[in-house]
Structure 1
């Protein structure tokens, strides 16, 4: 297990520091992949350094993510490591190109502390080809309407400066837009209380449920409701998001939120445990078709409520 951390490092010929002068998720993922390939090829850092005409110290910094690798260097390393898969080579070259890429969320004028902590996760989410999430308390972020996000923001115990709520809602909606445009596969299991708990506005509540139904009928989107009575299944894990890349079904990363940051898990034992939990949740949940009908039933139950003025 590891938490999102900040490191620094100097560069020599080529490459350069990742954007912002600190490791990015892209540079860390690239470095981890290159190190794994080098070890699989049974080569040491001196061999890699010789191939790209640099020092072993620079290879170490590339593998830690402290220095971003140039695309040309990545190609030479992949040749050295015997990587022939065109898809794998494209994936790693893309990571190299994106290591210095400015995150889209940094274009928003207001940067609340919570938004800064979100940056690493947004990098992971933006590149994912398959997203799975278990949410026992909230509607998953990628499925939230602006009104629902606003309600959560207004209830946030963290003191937010003027304009913070608007920025957070804007970032969340940009996440939705990027996600829906990406064509990534998505599967969510949501516990019933997250759907039935009253919201400050019944209009916003109905709109959120209607949006869930609409998303559940979209290609590559699966939403399942875990009934309230399935308590044993609901306690298998706190909320988490599993992210996969390069069209692989197996997750590469598990992300969980804490009060102060996002915890990123990338060990194989971590993956197995969380996927076992997700499979258990999906098995205990209503089928996708039953879930749509269930959400519709909840929506209809609040349709006649009078909106407070």
Structure 2
């Protein structure tokens, strides 16, 4: 059971998937409960993410739902076993619940798509840039907390640097051309973007100012997929206290369309790298 009986990101994902399979098979909750000698309430709580099921129950339900795909079956069993897994981010008590949920999604994701309008995405930030970003909010942050937040950023980036997930970012041009941090941090960050953009699992694109109002179509967000299919299953929207998580199907469809439109309007990865190099070269000339 999720800690305190409260749904976790993983338990909700598990419940939604199990519900989709049940509905596709044409069973109601009462019928599903009979398959595992349980109650309708147990199926309802499982599908709401309040509780999970034992692996044997999951497999029995999937058999009755005629789900034969081994990857899907293995994934659902894994979610059932790990719905309350203590991730490394829980060792940082200063993180908000929203931020922890965001990190949990990142940690599980096989594909991440991100749109940013003001700051370099956290998954692409250098330590120096992360330190500046951590002190930019309206709340006072102690030096000890800043160090911890920078450490969290570095831990989040591990899966990207190790190639554990596919990552696509679209960044608005002002993020690159505006010096919101000290010059040395700014130049180092631009160099880092060029370096990270060469990784096979990373796609980095710049949305130019010429794209006009399209940049204002939505606040910064990240979307997440969790298997070999590109279907978006969760969206995190940035806010002052961390992130808000969207999981309703209409919301997911809207943000999938939004990212596709932003990506189509953005420069190609090669043209984006050329723009960053021009800005870097011009900035270095200004320094000399």
Same fold flag (TM > 0.5): yes
Give how far 1:306 is off.
Answer: 4.9
Matched, 1:253 2:234: yes
Contact 1:202 1:305 in 2 (8 A): no
Contact 1:103 1:119 in 2 (8 A): no
Contact 1:68 1:100 in 2 (8 A): no
Q: Distance in 2 between matches of 1:31 and 1:269?
A: 18
Q: Distance in 2 between matches of 1:240 and 1:124?
A: 13
* Partner residue of 1:279 out of 241, 255, 260: 260
SS at match of 1:65: coil
Q: Distance in 1 between matches of 2:143 and 2:124?
A: 25
Deviations 1:258-305 (A, max 9, x none): 233522223333233222222222222111111111111111122245
Matches within 5 A, 1:56-205: 56-108=40-92, 111-112=93-94, 114-205=95-186
Give how far 1:21 is off.
Answer: 4.4
TM score, norm. by length of structure 2? 0.93
Contact 2:219 2:238 in 1 (8 A): no
Q: Distance in 2 between matches of 1:183 and 1:274?
A: 23
Name which of structure 1's ranges 237-246 and 210-219 shifts more when overlaid on structure 2.
237-246
Deviations 1:36-91 (A, max 9, x none): 21122121222222222222222211111111222111111111111011111111
SS at match of 1:262: strand
Contact 1:115 1:168 in 2 (8 A): no
Question: Which residue of 2 is the match for residue 12 of structure 1?
Answer: none
Deviations 1:226-259 (A, max 9, x none): 1123222212222111111211123122221223
Q: Distance in 1 between matches of 2:3 and 2:86?
A: 6
TM score, norm. by length of structure 1? 0.87
SS at match of 1:230: helix
Q: Distance in 1 between matches of 2:159 and 2:260?
A: 27
Contact 2:112 2:165 in 1 (8 A): yes
Q: Distance in 1 between matches of 2:181 and 2:111?
A: 33
Consecutive unaligned residues of structure 1, counting only runs of 5 or more, are 1-16
Name which of structure 1's ranges 216-225 and 161-170 shifts more when overlaid on structure 2.
161-170
SS at match of 2:113: strand
Consecutive unaligned residues of structure 2, counting only runs of 5 or more, are none
Give how far 1:154 is off.
Answer: 1.6
Count of aligned positions: 288
Give how far 1:182 is off.
Answer: 4.6
Q: Distance in 2 between matches of 1:280 and 1:45?
A: 39
Q: Distance in 2 between matches of 1:38 and 1:226?
A: 42
Contact 1:151 1:200 in 2 (8 A): yes
Give how far 1:221 is off.
Answer: 1.1
Matched, 1:31 2:25: no
Contact 1:255 1:265 in 2 (8 A): yes
Contact 1:25 1:124 in 2 (8 A): yes
